[in-house]
Amino acid sequence: MNVLVFDTIQEASQKAFEVFQEALANNAKVFGLATGSTPEALYEIMVNSDIDFTDSISVNLDEYYGLAGDHAQSYNYFMNEHLFNKKPFKANYLPDGTNTDSDAEVERYNKILAANPVDLQLLGIGGNGHIGFNEPGTDFNGHTQLVDLAPSTIEANKRFFASAEDVPSKAYSMGIASILESKQILLLAFGEGKAEAVKGMVEGPVTNELPASALQNHDNVTVIVDKAAASLLS
């Protein structure tokens, strides 16, 4: 893993933007994208730049189960608001949170991923070490699945909802195996709440108790962190 530490989120996000520019210059076509607060500064830099995704395809990591695309907390809505409405792609794919036939939805999304192998996958990390919504204990061989959110994830994400009860308890998420199939991975982590997970991911044993540690098994991973998230690294 190539770990790069920056003083501020803005500088770190600028570097992440350059990683996207470089991938595009090297003919990357499919971008795996993430939601959450971490990539917001990166998406803002993209929106205010002349980067051109009109020949690119995006596939998102995950979507809350039960939320329609027009729900303000759905990841579909987030992506439209933060990126797609202002920076159009040729096609955007996200899991369909309203599909209650989980076998069909998982099959549909895995087919999309097989037809559109990811060139560059952007990731955030949960304070508990999750990537996508692959929570501690996850099977590293998994592809897209309907997963239960960990209580700590519901607690962390309730800031976006009226209350913890309003946070969906399940989500569709690409699996660890899906993530590791991408050619290049870029993980961003900001703030001291991520420091322990970052340390485990970079320096700890590869264990499904810290899902991000699976990235040690990939040969092209860049980790971009601010000083607070890097504070426990030796």
The DSSP secondary-structure symbol of 52 reads -
The question of whether 135 is a catalytic residue gets the answer yes
Cβ 65 vs Cβ 171: under 8 Å: yes
Q: Rank residues 56 and 124 by Cβ distance to ligand F6R and give the closer one.
A: 124
Q: Rank residues 52 and 209 by Cβ distance to ligand F6R and give the closer one.
A: 209
Query: How many residues in total does the chain contain?
Result: 234
Q: Rank residues 53 and 75 by Cβ distance to ligand F6R and give the closer one.
A: 75
Cβ 79 vs Cβ 73: under 8 Å: no
Q: How far is the CB of 25 from ligand F6R (least distance, A)?
A: 25
Q: Is 67 in the site for ligand F6R (CB under 6 A)?
A: no
Cβ 195 vs Cβ 229: under 8 Å: yes
The question of whether 128 is a catalytic residue gets the answer yes
User: Which residues fall within 8 angstroms of residue 127, CB to CB, at 6 or more apart?
Assistant: 152, 156, 193, 194, 196, 197
The question of whether 218 is a catalytic residue gets the answer no
Q: Is 37 in the site for ligand F6R (CB under 6 A)?
A: yes
27: left (phi over 0), alpha (psi -120 to 50) or beta: left
Q: How far is the CB of 50 from ligand F6R (least distance, A)?
A: 26
Site for ligand F6R in 126-145 (CB under 6 A): 126, 130-133
The question of whether 11 is a catalytic residue gets the answer no
Q: Which residues are catalytic?
A: 62, 128, 130, 135
Chain residues binding ligand F6R by CB under 6 A are 34-38, 61-62, 124-126, 130-133
